[in-house]
Copies of this chain bind each other. A is one copy, B any other.
Amino acid sequence: MRALAVDLGGSHATCAVVEDRTIVRSETLTTERSIGLAPVLGRLAETFHKLLGEAGTRASDCAGLAFCFCGIASHSKAKVLSTNAKYDDATSLDLDGWCRETFGIPLELENDARMALLGEWYAGAARGFEDIVMITLGTGIGGAAMVNGRLLRGKHSQAGLGGHFPVLFNGRPCTCGGMGCAEAEASGWSLPEICRSTRGFESSSLARETPIGFEELFRHADAGDSLAIEVRDRCLAVWAAATVALILAYDPEVVVFGGAVMKSASAILPFLQAHVDRYAWTPWGKVALRSAELGNQAALLGAVPLIQSQAD
């Protein structure tokens, strides 16, 4: 099956022509979540037309366009439902109408964590499993679940928001309106503030880094900076608790970790596996924890299974 796919993140959009498990052509645009989605659509259309030409194919040869959005989106209604400060106009846009007018094909909308899960299930680390949790560690923390071979979406399309399960019931405020969410306690956007509010920050070597990301955090921790070690270990404990919660919620065989933070997988995955082995109540055996294999291609490679399952 041939399909168009777009993966829209907070600061970029990747357009692709895909064929089953292969990305035939792709191109990444820089964009800006604060300007809204409407001004981006024209650029996406231009890019797709260019890629189609390069690939020697036509939109009408594609079964559909898979649109991966970084917020809560209804697959069945093809509507963005909530944006959490990313492309706030998206909730008012008729994306399917835009797609049919522009390309003459239907649009299938899904959020980024579910698309990544679909991609890893179809072509990556979760091949062969039917009970899967996906956790994306990045600027935010995304979660998605497949139970018995089917994506769990929920009544209002928001099942699986594992990054917002409270893991510290009296914790920090989150952009989602909650508090103590895993995302508020250990994600790309919250990390700088967590570091700055930790005692001893002024004398930490991390204080000289701008911006402070997880790559910097892990590097300074490895170099022995005590504040970096403290914050790193706390972030690991937060992710571990969120992982346990997601395992108890969905009873998976495998948990796949993606997102930019997993560039430091060797510092993360062994800790999480040991924690889960010890603390997650899974009398049936051990849940396998794996790094995503597809990197930032996961959502694009979720396009074909998303479109194939459109009758779900």
Chain A residues with CB under 8 Å of chain B are 72, 81-82, 84, 130-131, 147-148, 152-162, 164-170, 176-180, 185, 237-238, 240-241, 244-246, 248-253, 278-285
Q: How far is the CB of A85 from chain B (nearest CB, A)?
A: 12
- Among B159, B177, B246, B281, contact of A178 (Cβ-Cβ < 8 Å): B281
8 chain-A/chain-B pairs, Cβ below 8 angstroms: A81-B283, A82-B281, A147-B154, A154-B252, A158-B248, A164-B244, A165-B244, A178-B279
Q: Does A169 lie within 8 Å of B249, measured CB to CB?
A: no
* Known A-B contacts A167-B166, A245-B165, A279-B178; A284 and B251 likewise in contact (beta carbons under 8 Å): no
- Known interface pairs A167-B166, A169-B168; A156-B279 also in contact (CB < 8 Å): no
Q: Is the pair B157, A241 in contact by a Cβ cutoff of 8 Å?
A: no
Are the C-beta atoms of B82 and A283 separated by less than 8 Å?
yes
In the bound complex, CA of A251 to CA of B245 (Å): 15
Chain B residues within 8 Å of A252, by CB: 154-155
Nearest B residue to A236, CB-CB = B169
CB of B162 within 8 A of CB of A253, answer: no
Instruction: Using A158-B248, A177-B279, A283-B72 as known contacts, say yes or no to A168 and B165 having CB atoms under 8 A apart.
Output: no
